[in-house]
Amino acid sequence: MKYTLVFCVILGIVECVLGITEDEIDRILETKMQKVIQKYDKKIALLEEKIHAQDVKIQNLEKKCSNPTMDAAEHGENASVQQVSLNRANDTGIHSKRQASSSQETLKRSFPTGTSGLVAFCAYMSTSENSPSLHHIFVYDIVKTNLGSAYNRNSGMFTAPDDGVYVFTWTIFSDFHSYIYTQIVVNSAAFDNMITDSQENGDIHSGTKLIIVSLIRGDVVYVRTDDTYPSGGNVFSGRAFGHSSFCGWKL
């Protein structure tokens, strides 16, 4: 009875202050209650869906437990699929290795091979070279011997036609008051170096080096100026004092 009086007093105050009737207040309260009910109805519906999904999972598990042969069949099928995938991967790897081997064999066949089995060459520079720069490859364009056709007079490079042990020698003449740093290079790495120095003498000097190196088919050998120390002056090559040369042979 006490609370009812309090509620009536509150309604009376709301009606006086806001100018809202009791019926309108009832409609507002009813609308809010309906929204609250709808909100909880949605939550209840979601919970029911989750419960249903869990029931389905439980039923499936119970079926597998009651029928172990079906589960084993599924595992066998998965294992078969994995084995097929593995076999395909192995086949792909074998095919790739065969392709790589075929490419390497084709590359090796592209290098010259002497028909007589002998490999030897000797060539010299037809003219002098003035002020060669760093990394300058010398081209010995006058070929006197080229058994096996492994030396290229246009590039100055020797390409090993077969695996084996080879001997190379090169001679450089330094012109008057010149000093020439040279290297013999296997592929892209300097194997040995030499300086021919006539800087303080009014004469022409020569220097000669010899190396023995193991090569595999396709390796490239050539002579160039040093890659670090710059040369000064000119390289001489001519009849008056001698030709700068590059020679080599297979043992």
Find the range with the poorest average confidence among 147-161, 194-208, 210-224.
194-208
What mean pLDDT value characterizes the chain?
A: 79
> Residue 195: beta bridge partners?
181
Which amino acid makes up residue 200? E
Beta carbons within 8 Å of 209's beta carbon, 6+ residues apart: 169, 170, 184, 192, 194
- The predicted structure's pLDDT at residue 82: 59
- The predicted structure's pLDDT at residue 114: 45
- The predicted structure's pLDDT at residue 109: 47
pLDDT, one tens digit per residue, over 166-203 is 999 999 999 999 999 999 999 999 999 999 998 887 78
Which amino acid makes up residue 80? S
Residue with more model confidence, 176 or 45: 176
**Which DSSP letter does residue 232 get?**
B
Residue with more model confidence, 21 or 248: 248
- The predicted structure's pLDDT at residue 15: 58
Pairing label, strands 120-124, 142-147: antiparallel
- The predicted structure's pLDDT at residue 204: 92
- The predicted structure's pLDDT at residue 26: 76
Residue with more model confidence, 179 or 60: 179
* Interval 39-62 mean pLDDT: 72
Decide if 221 contacts 189 (C-beta within 8 A).
no
pLDDT, one tens digit per residue, over 153-162 is 999 999 999 9
Beta carbons within 8 Å of 120's beta carbon, 6+ residues apart: 145, 146, 147, 148, 248, 249, 250
- The predicted structure's pLDDT at residue 115: 46
* Interval 76-98 mean pLDDT: 54
- The predicted structure's pLDDT at residue 117: 84
Question: pTM for this one?
Answer: 0.55
pLDDT band, residue 57 (cuts 50/70/90): confident
* Interval 120-138 mean pLDDT: 96
- The predicted structure's pLDDT at residue 107: 42
